[in-house]
Chain A
Amino acid sequence: DGGITQSPKYLFRKEGQNVTLSCEQNLNHDAMYWYRQDPGQGLRLIYYSQIVNDFQKGDIAEGYSVSREKKESFPLTVTSAQKNPTAFYLCASSRQGSSNSGANVLTFGAGSRLTVL
């Protein structure tokens, strides 16, 4: 079945360490996204990518970095510069095109929960 796989599901990090969250999709979607979820705040966009080798900052990109070397993969690195990294991180993907074609319908992974010790 097609879908999005995020790993690890749970991750613990010491302060000052960088960590990388994996996101892989087999939906043949062009666009991929990373969101951060905190209690009571909904989802906030960190980075998004419309095509391979291209990505743009979202609303809260500071302290994060991404790469898009393959269509299927969009890993997120949480750097030591992110001052409050404890959160639930969600990866999503969508098709390209107009809203009527369903391009703005997101398919989500199951998420990765990062805790800073």
Chain B
Amino acid sequence: AQSVTQLDSHVSVSEGTPVLLRCNYSSSYSPSLFWYVQHPNKGLQLLLKYTSAATLVKGINGFEAEFKKSETSFHLTKPSAHMSDAAEYFCVVSAGGYNKLIFGAGTRLAVHP
């Protein structure tokens, strides 16, 4: 069975400092992994995806994530936070079929001046 765990429900950082949002997954198959971002009362937007190519994936707005099979992790990072990064972030695992997407519970990122 597939599952995804976002290890922090809330993360707070200061503007200009690094961001780390943690995600662990469980999958019986070779998974596809995604990070989506959601701003308040909006839909979700794809940040990046991993589909068994390079393990370091670069996404939009300076975000990147590294697939680590040995640790079953897919953490999202950004070197320097911006106020506009304040949003909720979802880690998603897909294994086997496009309707089999499993969403994590989300991590709310707050960015302080």
Q: Contact residues of A with B, CB < 8 Å?
A: 4, 6, 31, 33, 40-45, 48, 50, 56, 58, 88, 90, 92, 94, 96, 99-100, 103-106, 108-111, 113
Report chain B residues within 8 Å CB of A111: 41-43
Q: Are B41 and A45 touching (Cβ within 8 A)?
A: no
Q: Are A104 and B44 touching (Cβ within 8 A)?
A: no
- Give A50 to B99 CA distance when docked, in angstroms: 9
Q: Contact residues of B with A, CB < 8 Å?
A: 9, 32, 34, 36, 41-46, 49, 51, 90, 94, 97-99, 101, 103-106
- Give A60 to B102 CA distance when docked, in angstroms: 13
Q: Are B104 and A99 touching (Cβ within 8 A)?
A: no
Q: Are B44 and A99 touching (Cβ within 8 A)?
A: no
Say which residue of A33, A40, A41 sits within 8 Å of B99 (CB atoms). A33
Report chain A residues within 8 Å CB of B104: 42
Say which residue of B42, B97, B98 sits within 8 Å of A110 (CB atoms). B42
Q: Are B99 and A45 touching (Cβ within 8 A)?
A: yes
Q: Are A94 and B41 touching (Cβ within 8 A)?
A: no
Report chain B residues within 8 Å CB of A96: 98
Q: Are A40 and B45 touching (Cβ within 8 A)?
A: no
Q: Are A108 and B90 touching (Cβ within 8 A)?
A: no
- Give A100 to B32 CA distance when docked, in angstroms: 9
Q: Are A108 and B43 touching (Cβ within 8 A)?
A: yes
Report chain B residues within 8 Å CB of A58: 99
